[in-house]
Amino acid sequence: MEIFKKSKIYDFVGWSKWGLALSVLLTIGAFYLFFGVGFNLGIDFAGGSAAQIQYVGDAKSGVTNTQNMESNSQDSINSQPSLEQIRTLLSTNAIFTNAQVSNFGDEILIKIPYQEGVTNEQIENALHSTLDSSGHFEIRKLDSISAKVGDELARSAVISLILATIAMMIYVSFRYEWRFALASIITLVHDIIITAASVIVFKIDLNLEVIAALLALLGYSINDTIIIFDRIREKMLEGKKMSIEEVINEAISNTLPRTLLTSLTMFFAVLTLYIFGGHNIIGFSLPLLVGVVFGTYSSMFVAPKLAILLGFSIEKYYAKEVAKAKKVEERRRQRQLYEGGRV
């Protein structure tokens, strides 16, 4: 399937100066968000409890959820109190001090900070007694994680990201000339930083779903960059007398249909997950959606330009490849002489 004419060569290196400038600005903005605003730690890392409740009918009439849905689902929606009303009621109980209340699809999500000695049963009873006057509701889900477990999960998440990045560094260091390897790693870190910053921008709690999205992005982003770098290396090995800018422009232009098809396939798959997957996996789908966009853009407009800025010389590369080929040929000739009994 062709989207672009193969004979058309685009000036990606020329456009890369704008891409690099955008990346610098976004990275600076990301660090401001990290240190100026900070992440909103989810229950997985901060510890505490998360209760999902759903109002299923009018408390006065005692209408059940099933009956209400069969008769008039709109009445159930109207029976749900406002978030401010729920916050006001919760503030009267010490168990819910500093609790966060938000919409969670058709349900209400209540996040309760960790308190020593407070059990799930106590929280469940406190919810029923405290919110009894607000209407008839059901507790659909109640999860709790201790502060100690949260710290361990956070430590494990950081270690997993670091180890995955180191593994990528080792892989590309053996595969490419060191400037290209370093450029790919810088690009990879760039993608992770911007994607992590989007978690703050979209006010997503930092939890295990977000870490899973970042780990998935590590693999996707480095794969996209490697495809382009492989094509650049193939072009250089053809031996044509071309500048590094010409080689990069031709290599990216040739891989452009494949890059866009792969990226769009991934993008729409994650978009479908985001739209229809519900709020339970928004911490995974939305960061990954952002990461796919920036991973594709950085592979074309950031990584190759960084290799040039790091001082890659195509002339030295050609000379090194010629010397390597001579050594291989000399070993082959010596082997032939030995096998022929002339050595």
The per-residue pLDDT for range 214-254, each reduced to its tens digit, is 888 888 888 888 888 888 888 877 767 778 888 888 888 88
Look at residue 54 and give its three-state secondary structure. strand
Q: Which domains does the chain have, with CATH numbers?
A: 12-41+149-312 (1.20.1640.10), 48-61+77-145 (3.30.70)
Backbone phi and psi for residue 144, each to the nearest 5 degrees, phi listed first: -135, 140
Average pLDDT of the residues in 30-40:
91
Q: Which residue pairs, CB below 8 angstroms and at least 24 apart, start in 24-29?
A: 26/194, 26/197, 27/190, 27/193, 27/194, 29/197
- How many CB atoms lie under 10 A from the CB of residue 108? 22
- How many CB atoms lie under 10 A from the CB of residue 172? 21
In the sheet that holds 100-104, the strands lie side by side as 100-104, 107-113, 48-57, 136-145
What pTM was computed for the model?
A: 0.74
Residues 6+ apart with CB under 8 A from 1: 257, 261
Please give the radius of gyration of the chain, using alpha carbons only, rounded to the nearest integer. 28
- Exposure string over 123-151, b if 16+ CB within 10 A, otherwise e: beebbeebbeebbbbebeebebbeeeebe
Average pLDDT of the residues in 138-155:
78
Task: Measure the CA–CA gap between 221 and 228, rounded to whole angstroms.
Answer: 11
Res 342: pLDDT: 56
Please give the residue that has the higher pLDDT: either 317 or 233. Answer: 233
Measuring CA to CA, which residue among 231, 91, 214, 235 is closest to residue 159?
A: 214
Measuring CA to CA, which residue among 11, 17, 8 is closest to residue 246?
A: 11
Please give the residue that has the higher pLDDT: either 15 or 63. Answer: 15
